[in-house]
Amino acid sequence: MNVDIVDLDNGITNVLLSGRMDVQGALAVDRNFSAIADAKKKVVIDLSQVTFLASLGIRTLIMSCKTLASKGGNMVLLNPQPNVEKVLRTSGVDTVIQIVRDMNAAAAIFSK
Amino acid sequence: MNAAQKEHAPQSNTWRKAFAGTVAGISAAAQWVDTIAADRQLPEQLVFALQVCLEELLSNIVRHGGSESSGGLSRGAIPPVNVEITISLSNQGISMAVEDDGKPFDIASAPAHRIDQPLNAVEPGGLGIQLIRNFASTIAYERAGLGNRVVVEFLL
């Protein structure tokens, strides 16, 4: 699993993930997510290139979002593939981390 | 029939293979299932459901199945448990049996949890079981084979 972190001009941090966020993938990006949650505030997780999501990957997302929220930050999930979105909705992740289709929608959430 | 033939016999509708109960073993099992799925041109959504259940069953075994499980995936159980997976195709769908010689655990009766509380109260445990119950058509557990035997079915 690869992770590409870009700080945008509008204060949003875009985290582009690619590959399988399975056990191995989640273990590989856990340290990146901890650092992001500690240092950033408005975080978009771009899931468009993620082909698989397991419960351990969900745990990584949830724990990072909790850390962000505890210091006034927020996280949104951008454009998951249909199968990955089914995992997110089946587990109820979408009830605590919003799913958006584009960066404008993400920016609107952060501006609230 | 040698091990390689048994692993991937032409025209067979049943495949069986042993894996170590480790993170590397989970990845190897996922690749093995992908190979079977590609060979038989199985529908994408069905393969995804199969992979979700495989991943959750195996990660549960790696994390909790050992007699001296460290509770962490970086080390897993000490020593690793043994896992055997059997995939069977029929006109009705796919059946996957996962056996392990770890601690007895009836995953078919274990509580599943969907996230239904505010973010600050969420403890993401039990989500794997929730995913298995939703992505598989049926799930059954028995003490058989290596010890624990879970069979999940995916109907076409």
**Per-residue pLDDT, B64:** 86
Domain limits, chain B: 3-155
CA angle B53, B23, A66 (to 5 degrees): 75
Helix (H, G, I), strand (E, B), or coil: what is residue A33? Answer: helix
Give residue B7's pLDDT band: very low, low, confident or very high (50, 70, 90). Answer: low
pLDDT in tens, B38-82: 999 999 999 999 999 999 999 999 988 876 555 556 655 567 899
Which of A54, A59, A95 has its CB closest to that of B56? A54
For B25, phi then psi, to 5°, come to -65, -40
Length of chain A: 112
**Yes or no, beta carbons of A96 and B122 under 8 Å apart:** yes
CA of A98 to nearest chain B CA: how many angstroms apart?
A: 11
CATH no. for residue A100?
3.30.750.24
Which domain range does residue A90 map to? 2-110
| Closest C-alpha among A89, A91, A61, A59 to residue A75 | A61
**Per-residue pLDDT, B76:** 57
* Contact between residue A13 and residue A36 where contact means Cβ atoms under 8 Å apart: yes
Q: Which fold has domain B3-155?
A: Heat Shock Protein 90 (3.30.565)
pLDDT in tens, A62-110: 999 999 999 999 999 999 999 999 999 999 999 999 999 999 999 999 9
**Yes or no, beta carbons of B56 and A22 under 8 Å apart:** no
What is the rounded CA–CA span in Å between residue B118 and residue B113? 14
CA of A92 to nearest chain B CA: how many angstroms apart?
A: 5
| Interface residue ranges in chain A relative to chain B, Cβ cutoff 8 Å | 20, 22-24, 27, 52, 54-56, 58-59, 62-63, 65-66, 69-70, 83, 87, 90-93, 95-97
β-bridge partners, A49: A18
**Yes or no, beta carbons of A87 and B131 under 8 Å apart:** yes
**Yes or no, beta carbons of B118 and A65 under 8 Å apart:** no
Say if the ipTM goes beyond 0.90: yes
A21-45 as b/e: b if 16+ CB within 10 A? bbbbbbbbbbebbeebbeebebbbb
The number of domains in chain A is 1
